[in-house]
Amino acid sequence: MPVAANILVIDDDESMRLGCVETLSQNGFRARAAGNGAGGLQLAREESFDVAIVALRMPGMSGMEVLAKLNEENPSIAVVVMTRYATIESAVEAIRQGAFDYLPKPFSPDLLVTVVNRALDRKQLALENMCLRMALKEKLGPETIVGDSPPMAKVAKLIQKVAPTDATVLVIGETGVGKELVARAVHHQSYRRDKPFVAVDCAALVENLFESELFGHVRGAFTGAVATTVGKFELANNGTLFFDEIGNIGPEVQVKLLRAIQEQEFMRVGGSQRIKVNVRIIAATNTDLLRDMKAGHFREDLFYRLSVVPIQIPPLRERREDIRVLAHHFLRKFSAKRNRDVTGFSDEALQAMEAYEWPGNVRELENTVERALVMAEKKIIEPGDLFFYGPVQGGGPDAPAEGHLVEMEKREITLALQRFHWQVGKAAYYLGINRKTLRDKIRKYGLSELQ
């Protein structure tokens, strides 16, 4: 279950300090206290805190100095300031410098708890917004798992069993089968559904920056580290952290990842503070990790830590009964998106899709349907609107010729140019290539508007 929020109280007034700690502890929080600014900052370097309550007036280091230092070293901490000298000016200045809220002494226990809960809600909202911005940059698959074939029914049943637990899940399958979609389904059927789902693309990250991406870094940890940043583990606290293509991480990162998963704690790059988290781990791979493990490329202990519950996603060619329902699902999705009045597929088109091997799996089918929707001249997608990158058996006389990739490319470019009346920019956009590439191919194939 989610860990209790950790609160730091910094005040030279012993009775106020101890009273805050007692009130917070009685209301289900964990609380630590320091009698001066230097001591409070040292605690913040040694332990992870969600909220800091800081007195503005203290001997030595002032509350405003502590506020500035906390914002610099621990940007994820929500700071609440308190003082007996309550003035509008000091409140405005503290908030302008980055404080979340302001408590004028003396305050009631109820007000303290209310302000702390507000600060926690604000912090959680900020983390969720950051996760949402990250998710919007990704190309996500379909919103739900589509397919009622026996293999997918087995996958759905396994998701229902494992989702309510905190067991680590390893999703296995070829590229394009929908591994991230399965990971999101596990998350959304768990008690963590209202907490962040943070995805890490292990194939896209540079090796020497991977540790910083996972754990964050402190200011000055390396060249270019101009500010302290929060890593993916911290962003996913109380939620789910998904590692896509986990087989791509190197040996050194594997060791640190294993420790972070086991201990549920880590240190930012260049930092000395141990940060405690509560994160569920889901990983995915399109490679044979057992083979990699035996070859010495993947740690045995990490493999068994990740694969507590393996979920195997079958390729599309092994569940052809799902092709029709997936094709119609994608047609509805893209018809609305592109405002096209295309309502279905001809029997010949569906037969051609069912005959194709789909080396790119569901993702290739999705792209094929979107392309066919763009090219279709009628309300029904015909075989001639389809484009495949490989051989089709039994697809009918209008299906793309087996193996003739060059001819298929030439045909699709010609159809796009004709559809958009030789407006190269629009044709290039719908083909998914830039204008220069399209012009080069027009010259290569000797295409002309007069054809």
Report d(CA 432, CA 428) in Å as an integer. 6
Report d(CA 80, CA 101) in Å as an integer. 5
| CATH homologous superfamily, domain 6-134 | Response regulator (3.40.50.2300)
> Which pLDDT score is estimated for 300?
94
Identify the residue with better confidence: 384 or 389: 384
Confidence class for position 391, pLDDT limits 50, 70, 90: low
The pLDDT of 180-184, averaged and rounded, is 93
> Which pLDDT score is estimated for 404?
46
- Percent over 90 (pLDDT), the chain: 37
> Which pLDDT score is estimated for 412?
80
Most confident among 58-62, 167-171, 227-231, 337-341 (mean pLDDT) = 167-171
- In the chain, where does the domain assigned CATH 3.40.50.2300 lie? 6-134
Give the residues across from 190 on adjacent strands: none
How many Cα atoms within 13 Å fall on the side-chain side of residue 187?
A: 26
> Which pLDDT score is estimated for 402?
39
* Selection from 230, 313, 233, 217 nearest residue 281 by Cα: 233
Cβ proximity of 199 and 242 under 8 Å: yes
Identify the residue with better confidence: 429 or 88: 429
> Which pLDDT score is estimated for 316?
93
Residue 85 has pLDDT above 80, yes or no: no
DSSP 8-state secondary structure symbol assigned to residue 36: S
Average confidence score pLDDT of the chain: 84
Identify the residue with better confidence: 133 or 268: 268
Confidence class for position 155, pLDDT limits 50, 70, 90: very high
CATH 3.90.1150.10 correct for 404-451:
no
The per-residue pLDDT for range 431-448, each reduced to its tens digit, is 777 777 888 888 877 887
Lowest mean pLDDT among 136-145, 175-184, 253-262, 370-379: 136-145
Task: Spell out the CATH class of 150-314.
Answer: alpha beta
> Which pLDDT score is estimated for 405?
54
Identify the residue with better confidence: 265 or 399: 265
The per-residue pLDDT for range 400-434, each reduced to its tens digit, is 443 345 666 777 888 888 888 888 888 887 777 77
- In the chain, where does the domain assigned CATH 1.10.8.60 lie? 316-401
Identify the residue with better confidence: 47 or 248: 248
> Which pLDDT score is estimated for 431?
78
b/e map of 198-219 (b: 16 or more CB within 10 Å)?
Answer: bbbebeebeeeebbbbbbbbbe
Residue 187 has pLDDT above 90, yes or no: yes
The pLDDT of 24-44, averaged and rounded, is 91
Give the residues across from 6 on adjacent strands: 30
Lowest mean pLDDT among 120-129, 279-288, 383-392: 120-129
What's the CA angle centered on 143, arms 139 and 145, to 5 degrees? 115
The per-residue pLDDT for range 307-348, each reduced to its tens digit, is 999 999 999 999 999 999 999 999 998 888 877 888 899 999
- In the chain, where does the domain assigned CATH 1.10.10.60 lie? 404-451
The token pair at 425 is 């920019």
Confidence class for position 374, pLDDT limits 50, 70, 90: confident
Residue 143 has pLDDT above 90, yes or no: no
The helix-helix angle for 347-355 and 361-375 (nearest 10°) equals 150
CATH 2.40.128.630 correct for 316-401:
no
Lowest mean pLDDT among 72-76, 118-122, 211-215, 264-268: 72-76
> Which pLDDT score is estimated for 112?
92
The pLDDT of 212-228, averaged and rounded, is 81
Q: Which string of DSSP letters, residue by residue, matches 126-142?
A: HHHHHHHHHHHTS----
